[in-house]
Structure 1
């Protein structure tokens, strides 16, 4: 069978999957395009081409480009937020403060390693208002959750003086460290893994908080 004939056969078979089963694949293709070329490159046509299907197959899943992009950003921001909050809460009950920070960063980086394109979408799409707005809202939620976890922890572990004045600065430091750690993990020019990088960053941030 020639490549042209095979392509045509694949396109004829594609609708048989059904929209419900195909939507995640459509969003995966849209994410890959967004990471590589920006969210502006995500169109019904570009997604159809990437998947090797016709445009009606994509239209059966999403009525237009706006709905497609909204669904992509909704899914990726929800996945990102869930991963961060899971990592944050993974060390909430540990009495050893250094271990708490190390375990939290390890969990965060393991989540990033498991879904690298979700995180790359955030970093590659920062200048794009559509992406920035979604993930800014997610970051604000994480900031609130991190404050709720870190404030009582610092009171319990170190009885930090003047905590309310210092806390906003420390939370910004914590969130910046999270972002920097993920960027380093996704940088293919180095050989960091989630455990060794999480240990390094977790210990460093623990020292910063303890000395505050």
Structure 2
């Protein structure tokens, strides 16, 4: 196997170990066993288990951030409510397409290891900032002074995050369509998107 393909194979094995056994179980031995290779094969590409874990986290972090960035609709969306519900659905589709990655992300978010939580917190903060920019652009100027943009962005973020957990943990109970239907009633109720003039 070519070195680059072998590297990807080993990083895939690291991800499986994180999801199935926990991040604390990542070692040269467990990864070699999961990948079905010998220890020397792993050592041929990685110096130790720390380097192996960092390489896996770097790869998955990059991919997850790309997916999160794609979940924020453009600020110029004509219908911000539809744009946000579409984005939520797109995010859930991405989560379901890479379940190992996102199970690891959710596990690491709850990890007792500060270094892992800091990595995730950086990505989550960027996502919240992007949502805040969308909310600010989508809110009519005359209502903007009365809207708490940051809390609105965090509310939407919490919806995305918990929805991602649910479609993986309980897909039969919480399918994408159920979550989208709920979001289509929740988002219009937020002050940034709710137009009091529409209430008769």
Q: Distance in 1 between matches of 2:124 and 2:91?
A: 14
How many residue pairs get aligned? The number is 192
Shift in alpha-carbon separation, 1:78–1:202, aligned structure 2, 3 A: farther
Q: Deviations over 1:101-130 (max 9, x none)?
A: 111111111111111111111222222323
Give deviations 1:36-59, integer Å, cap 9, x for gaps: 221110111100001111011111
Q: Residue in 2 aligned with 1:10?
A: none
Q: TM-score, normalized by length of structure 2?
A: 0.87
> Structure 1 residue 195: deviation in Å?
4.2
Counterpart for residue 174 of structure 1: 156
After TM superposition, the score normalised by the length of structure 1 is: 0.82
Residue of structure 2 aligned with 1:36, choices 20, 23, 47: 20
The structure number with the bigger radius of gyration is 1
Unaligned runs of 5+ in 2: 196-200
- Residue 150 (str. 1) matches residue 150 (str. 2): no
Point out the structure with the larger helix share. Answer: 1
Asked if 1 retains the 8 angstrom alpha-carbon contact of 2:132 and 2:152, the reply is no
Aligned to 1:85: 69
Go from structure 1 to structure 2 and tell me whether the alpha carbon gap of 1:63 and 1:167 turns closer, same or farther (over 3 Å shift). Answer: same
